[in-house]
């Protein structure tokens, strides 16, 4: 199957090959995909290289690339809230957390498209050397970002898109959805034993995990609910600091570093 790279700031990934179909996720600028199916009207079904998530995208958001670029590791990420790059000779503004590989000065070729990085990229972190303060700095870049179903950028994010994007810049690969992320990491038995950066997961009345957030400490959590916000947490779950109401029921806590 052919490989491709995302050449727009944020590419919607849809459940079906139609613009009115549900957006199930996003693919950020620079991320690679494998094209699985070529549909009609310019639609292609793709599998994201980073987390194996599948969905439908429009081909004009992509550029076909050679095997060696696809198989190269991601090495850098865009570190500003908004970053200026030059794509095919034109300025483009891309969000925080876009993964980049094979950075070549002064111009990198993505297929037939020349790309120039006008602002400094940061090298991806190592999961063996995670700094808790650095993690919180990255998480707080999203503060007040609007909740967006399927979103995973500072322009709009859902709960698991938020956690995945924060963690990937630290060199920790999380799966896409909250229930998938809950299968990773090591279980923390008690809230009082948490470290900064542990993830807390919450379930609905049917017992399905539907929400995730990043623990600041054993009393506070930053999560995407309406917007990315900081709320209180106790052994039962999240309490909205504005209303005093309990909004999410705690299911499990996991540690990844």
The CATH superfamily holding the domain 132-148+159-255 is endopeptidase domain like (from Nostoc punctiforme) (3.90.1720.10)
Supply the pLDDT for residue 124. Answer: 92
CB 92 within 8 A of CB 84: yes
The pLDDT value recorded for residue 38 is 96
* Residues whose CB is less than 8 angstroms from the CB of residue 62 and which lie 6 or more positions away in sequence, other chains included: 4, 5, 6, 7, 11, 33, 35, 44, 46
> Which residue did the predictor score with more confidence, 59 or 102?
59
Residue 148: per-residue pLDDT:
98
Give me the pLDDT at residue 102, please: 75
pLDDT at 104: 74
Q: pLDDT tens for residues 125-179?
A: 887 889 999 999 999 999 999 999 999 999 999 999 999 999 999 999 999 999 9
Residues 75-89: tens digit of each pLDDT: 999 999 999 999 999
Q: Which of 254, 256, 214, 255 is nearest to 238 (CA)?
A: 214
What is the average pLDDT value for the chain, to the nearest integer? Answer: 96
Q: Which CATH superfamily includes the segment(s) 3-123? A: SH3 Domains (2.30.30.40)
Q: How buried is residue 178: exposed, middle or buried, by Cβ count under 10 Å (0-12/13-18/19+)?
A: buried
Degrees, nearest 5: CA angle 196-129-193: 25
Tokens of 7: 């050449």
Per-residue confidence (pLDDT) for residue 64, from 0 to 100: 97
| pLDDT: which is higher, 120 or 214 | 214
Q: Is the pLDDT of residue 1 over 80?
A: no
- On whether the CB atoms of residues 181 and 168 are closer than 8 A, the answer is no
User: Token digits for 177?
Assistant: 């959805």
> CB under 8 Å to 214, separation ≥6 — which residues?
135, 139, 162, 163, 166, 197, 198, 199, 221, 222, 223
The pLDDT assigned to 118 comes to 76
Residue ranges covered by each domain of the chain:
3-123, 132-148+159-255
pLDDT at 120: 77
Q: What percent of the chain has pLDDT over 90?
A: 93
| pTM, 2 dp | 0.95
């Amino acid at each position: 199957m052919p490989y491709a790279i995302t050449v727009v700031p944020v590419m919607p990934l849809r459940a079906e090959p139609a613009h009115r179909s549900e957006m199930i996720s996003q693919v950020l600028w620079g991320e690679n995909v494998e094209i699985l199916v070529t549909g009609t009207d310019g639609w292609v079904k793709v599998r994201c290289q980073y987390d194996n998530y599948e969905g439908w995208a429009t081909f004009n958001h992509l550029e076909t690339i050679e095997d060696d670029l696809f198989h190269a590791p991601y090495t850098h990420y865009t570190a500003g809230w908004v970053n200026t790059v030059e794509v095919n000779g034109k300025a483009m503004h891309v969000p925080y957390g876009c993964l980049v590989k094979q950075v070549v000065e002064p111009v990198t070729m993505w297929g037939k498209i020349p790309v120039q990085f006008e602002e400094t990229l940061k090298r991806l972190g190592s999961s063996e050397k995670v700094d808790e303060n650095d993690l919180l700095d990255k998480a707080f870049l999203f503060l007040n970002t609007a909740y967006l179903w399927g979103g995973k950028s500072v322009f709009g994010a859902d709960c698991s898109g938020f956690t995945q994007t924060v963690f990937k810049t630290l060199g920790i690969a999380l799966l896409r959805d909250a229930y998938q992320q809950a299968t990773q990491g090591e279980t923390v038995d008690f809230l009082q034993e948490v470290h900064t950066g542990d993830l807390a997961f919450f379930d609905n009345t049917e017992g399905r995990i539907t929400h995730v957030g990043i623990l600041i400490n054993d009393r506070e959590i930053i999560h995407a609910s309406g917007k990315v916000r900081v709320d209180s947490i106790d052994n039962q779950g999240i309490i909205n600091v504005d209303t005093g109401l309990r909004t999410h029921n705690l299911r499990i806590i996991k540690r990844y570093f």
